[in-house]
Amino acid sequence: MLLPKPFSDKVPCTRISEVVGTEADYTLGAHAHLGYHEFTCGKYFLNPGAFARLTNLQKEIVRVPKVLFMDFSGESRYSFIPLTTARPGLEVMDIIETGLNC
């Protein structure tokens, strides 16, 4: 899993800083559900995130699933396109009230 920074000490990953020396102009990452777009040292590191929301974390609830469109027919460009059929997180996630203030 390629990430800008680890999100947990318990989950192994490769940091973008470890592979920034690649010759590729664009590197695509996966498995990180929230996604990212990083521009480092003149190189793009992109991950549109997961199609599915799997946890009821606040970041997942507000996240809109999207796809990555890349166009190399002229000047290289990319865009993240939100899925218009994805329902809002509060409609599809089962939020359990715990009564805890944390």
**SS3 for 89?**
helix
pLDDT tens string for the chain (102 positions)?
999 999 888 989 999 999 999 999 999 998 888 999 999 999 999 999 988 888 878 888 888 999 999 999 999 999 999 999 988 888 887 766 544 444
Structure confidence at residue 68 (pLDDT): 96
**SS3 for 27?**
strand
Q: How far is the C-alpha of 73 from the C-alpha of 71, rounded, in Å?
A: 6
Structure confidence at residue 7 (pLDDT): 83
